Amino acid sequence: MGFFSKLFGKSTTEEKAVEKKVEESLKIGIVIGSVRQDRNAEAVANWMLDFARKRNDSQVEYELVDLANYDLPMLGLPLPEEQQEESAKTIKAWSEKMATYDAYIFVTPEYNHATGGALKNALDYVNPEVNNKVAGFVGYGSLGGVRAHENLRLILGELQVADVRTAVTFSLMTDFENMSEFKPADYHEANANEMLDQIISWSKAFKPLRDK
Ligand SMILES: Cc1cc2nc3c(=O)[nH]c(=O)nc-3n(C[C@H](O)[C@H](O)[C@H](O)COP(=O)(O)O)c2cc1C
């Protein structure tokens, strides 16, 4: 039963149309997965956001989620008493933010053939908030960040997040100047489109599981 019918009993045709629209809408979070000073992640995530929004996908909202806005302690680290309340608030804000999305696009660095420690730690704080949701990856590195993608696939499997096949893989050598100024080649757009199509169709398909 939809929101209006729960409130008022029977819903009118107009209300049913609004309910259907709300039920079909998707919210996709683009997670900036590095907190490093001067990180490349930010430029890459902004590119992804612009690219996604320009598609004008019907009833799909894209938003950036910046890990740097959440000062998450290492999971389980004992904190001085005066920091505990603030830290608990940050952890709650992070989990609640992640809970608002139907799908995620993780913009991930590759550190030592894996995703970055900050993103791994942040993912350790969530579980039910992300179950039955969908993820895609945008990486960058000497080999396009693919080893970070594969590493994230293992982590997300445990969190019951369905990750789509197609990913965007920028080269630190050819898509950046001096490995720091982002100048992406046009050909990545084909993969970005395919990845978004897959994320949207899987997010819709998984919706009944999330609404249970
Ligand atoms: C400790 C460390 C390990 C790294 N390991 C890899 C690696 O295994 N593969 C790779 O392609 N790049 C590696 N790099 C390069 C990073 O991918 C590159 O610095 C990237 O810009 C990091 O993302 P960020 O700028 O968004 O933090 C490494 C960098 C650091 C600092």
pLDDT confidence of residue 24: 81
Specify the ligand 1 atom closest to the Cα of 145: 11
- Each residue of 129-159: b (16+ CB within 10 Å) or e? bbebbbbbbbbbbeebbbbbbbbbeebbeeb
**pLDDT at 78 exceeding the cut of 80:** yes
Ligand 1 pocket list (CB less than 6 A): 34, 36, 39-41, 109-113, 141-143
Specify the ligand 1 atom closest to the Cα of 114: 8
Query: pTM for this structure?
Result: 0.92
pLDDT confidence of residue 21: 60
CATH number at residue 97: 3.40.50.360
Task: Identify the band that residue 19 occupies on the pLDDT scale cut at 50, 70 and 90.
Answer: low
**Within a domain: residue 3?**
no
The total number of structural domains in the chain stands at 1
Nearest protein Cα to ligand 1, atom 6: 111
Task: Identify the band that residue 95 occupies on the pLDDT scale cut at 50, 70 and 90.
Answer: very high
**Within a domain: residue 43?**
yes
Share of the chain above pLDDT 90, in %: 88
**Within a domain: residue 154?**
yes
Task: Identify the band that residue 137 occupies on the pLDDT scale cut at 50, 70 and 90.
Answer: very high
For residue 103, the enclosing domain spans 26-210
**Within a domain: residue 165?**
yes
For 31-43, the pLDDT digits (tens) are 999 999 999 999 9
For 21-31, the pLDDT digits (tens) are 656 899 999 99
**Within a domain: residue 17?**
no
Nearest Cα neighbor of 89 from 79, 103, 102 is 79
